[in-house]
Structure 1
Amino acid sequence: MFLYNVTLILDDAAAEEWLQWMQEIHIPEVLATGMFVSNRLLKVVDSPNEGVTYCAQYIAETLENYNEYQKTYAPVLQEKLNEKFKNRFVAYRTLMEYVD
């Protein structure tokens, strides 16, 4: 199992709009790809960064599913994010493997 984590640091002014967009549009689109079996959305409480920090996490059963997501779906979905919230966020993406 693999955890794909996307950490986003948002401008304060964009945070509420982004959260609604994530919950209503983006996360359902990511899950509709069939490459992930579950997800969660977290708000970082003690972030040292300016702005509001969230982590969107998606669970893939196999590395192949994650790779297929990155190859086939991620470019279009990330472009939608970039267009809608241009210059209002910074994102960091990490892939982690479960060890037990």
Structure 2
Amino acid sequence: MLLYNVTLILEDAAAAEWLKWMQEVHIPEVMATGLFVSNRLLKVLDSPNEGVTYCAQYVLENQDQYNTYQSTYAPALQEKLNEKFKNRFVAYRTLMEFIA
């Protein structure tokens, strides 16, 4: 099992709009790809960064599903995010493997 984690640091003024958009639009679109087993959205409480930090996490069964997501779906979904919240966030993406 793999965990695809997207950490976003948002400007304070964009945080509420982004959160609503994630819950109502983006996460449902990501899950509609059929590649992910589950997802969760977390708010980082002790972030050393300016603004508001969230982590969107998605669980996949294998590397092939991740590769399919990255090649087939991620570019368009990330472009929607970039268009809607242009210059109001920074994102870091990591892929992790469950060990225990």
TM-score normalised by structure 2 residue count: 0.99
Please, what is the CA RMSD of the aligned residues? 0.4
Q: Does 1:3 pair with 2:3? A: yes
CA distance in 2: counterparts of 1:61 and 1:32, whole angstroms: 16
Q: Does 1:69 pair with 2:69? A: yes
Q: Does 1:38 pair with 2:38? A: yes
Moved over 3 A (4+): none
SS of 1:79's partner is helix
Aligned to 1:12: 12
Aligned to 1:87: 87
Instruction: Give a deviation string over 1:24-67, Cα, whole Å, max 9, x none.
Output: 00000000001101000000000000000000000001110011
CA distance in 2: counterparts of 1:21 and 1:15, whole angstroms: 10
One-letter amino acid of the structure 1 residue matched with residue 43 of structure 2: K
> For structure 2, which runs of at least 5 residues remain unmatched after alignment?
none
Aligned to 2:23: 23
TM-score normalised by structure 1 residue count: 0.99
Count the aligned residue pairs.
100
One-letter amino acid of the structure 2 residue matched with residue 12 of structure 1: D
CA distance in 1: counterparts of 2:95 and 2:63, whole angstroms: 10
CA distance in 1: counterparts of 2:35 and 2:50, whole angstroms: 33
Q: CA deviation at 1:99?
A: 1.1
CA distance in 2: counterparts of 1:2 and 1:62, whole angstroms: 6
Identity of aligned residues (%): 80
